[in-house]
Amino acid sequence: MLETVLSPALFPLHQSAIETKNVVVIDILRATSTICEALHQGAKEIITTTSPEEALGYRSKGFLCAAERDGITVPGFELGNAPQDYTSELVRGRSIALTTTNGTRCLRMSTGAHQVFAGSFLNISTLASYLIQNKKPVLLFCAGWKDRFNLEDTFFAGALAALLKDTFSADCDATLAAIHLWETNKDRAADFLHQASHAQRFRHLQRESDVDVCLRRDTAPVLPLFKDGVIRNHIETPSLHIG
């Protein structure tokens, strides 16, 4: 079984038997892309927090503190929510406390699932391989924007569903629509997503290039597993690196 949740407001409809499902949280612009990049650059772990204040509380424990609200790095924080800021020099071996507008909230909402992963184009093949091997029902959970549907998360859900659809049955209109959006736009992904409202928000913030960074495929072949409020790389065997 393969299901897609287009907004956190629709998540309650998919919570039955959640303990049997592998949930993939999708916040392409940018939380889950950033989480993948941070782990790929060697961060030890990422703690998700509800508020910037809570994230700052981890500073005295030696954590790097990252916070984004409405697309902008919160003043007083070392890091925001842009993958390219998470360099190896800065994050290798470090623990990071992170809070974002949409994505970190969805990770916490998924507590109780069999396993919860962060998905993005940066780790799509690694993730797909794992889900296929693991065989549990899959729930693709689009973070959207403040409970609204968004184009980029659904587009990625379609890309991942396209890799999974021969293994899992996708008897769900949201999955069919997502696959269709992906299949008919995969060759012009950047153009397609630049019309999305979130990309236009980035234009206002002069962060337009972030869209292109978050569309790079398999540049961070990690498996970010969220467990007990902490995200760590769950690569179990080297073979999982091969998409």
The residues of the shown chain that bind a second copy, judged by CB under 8 A, are: 6-7, 9-10, 13, 145-151, 154, 171-174, 176-177, 180-181, 184-185, 195-198, 200
Nearest distance in Å: CB 154, a second copy: 7
Minimum distance of a second copy from residue 192's CB (angstroms): 8
Q: How far apart are CA 195 and CA 197, in angstroms?
A: 6
Q: How far is Cα 122 from Cα 28, in angstroms, rounded to an integer?
A: 9
Residue with Cβ nearer a second copy (26 or 181): 181
CB of residue 215 to a second copy, shortest distance in Å: 16
- CA–CA dist 118, 180 (Å, integer): 22
Question: How do beta strands 115-119 and 138-142 pair?
Answer: unpaired
Between 56 and 106, name the residue whose CB sits nearer to a second copy: 106
- Supply 42's token pair: 């060697």
H/E segment holding residue 192: helix 189-194
Nearer to a second copy, 179 or 240 (CB): 179
The pair of three-digit structure tokens given for residue 33, joined into one six-digit string: 């892309």
Q: Is the dihedral of CA 29, 10, 191, 222 positive or negative?
A: positive
Nearer to a second copy, 74 or 172 (CB): 172
Omega before 94 within 30 of 0, i.e. cis: no
CA angle 57, 59, 65 (to 5 degrees): 95
Give min distance, CB of 188 to a second copy, in A. Answer: 12
Structure tokens at 139: 């729930």
- Which has the closest alpha carbon to 120: 94, 69, 155? 155
**What is the closest distance, in whole angstroms, from the C-beta atom of residue 15 to a second copy in the complex?**
13
In the complex with a second copy, which residue's Cβ is closer, 94 or 198? 198
Taking the complex as a whole, the smallest distance from the CB of residue 34 to a second copy amounts, in Å, to: 21
- Closer to a second copy by CB, 29 or 91: give it: 29
